[in-house]
Amino acid sequence: MGENILVVDDEKDICRLLKTELELEGYSVIIATSGALALNEIQKINFDLAFMDVRMPDMSGMDLLKEIRKIKPDQKIIMMTAYDDPVYQEEAAKLGVVKYLFKPFPPETITKMAKEVLAKKK
């Protein structure tokens, strides 16, 4: 394995949970607790996948998604949210989000989704 995964969420507990679960499966995980930190990491590292929260205080997940598309148009992204908003999901889909994950979720869902998305290499 050895794929690089970025986890973006302002909730540190969520970040720790995802990092632990993914690292147990052999992935290399970087955490960003804000949109600005995520953009900084995306510019430095090639990530195979990113898990991103929709609602964050400094920059919304949608705004972050738009910025990432300018830098890395093919970045695989899974959005995470506690809010079921079809309009937001539609816009995210248009911007190439590969999956939508609703909080709360069981930890094993993370590794299952990561394996599924990463198995679909170009």
Domain boundaries, the chain: 4-119
Largest CA distance in the chain: 35
Give the pTM: 0.92
pLDDT tens across the length of the chain (122 residues): 579 999 999 999 999 999 999 999 999 999 999 999 999 999 999 999 999 998 888 888 889 999 999 999 999 999 998 877 788 788 888 888 998 888 888 988 999 999 999 998 64
Q: Which CATH number is correct for 4-119, 3.60.70.12, 2.102.10.10, 3.40.50.2300, 3.10.150.10?
A: 3.40.50.2300
Phi, psi of 120 (to 5 degrees): -90, 60
Give Cα separations from 93 to 50, 87, 88 (angstroms). Answer: 15, 10, 9
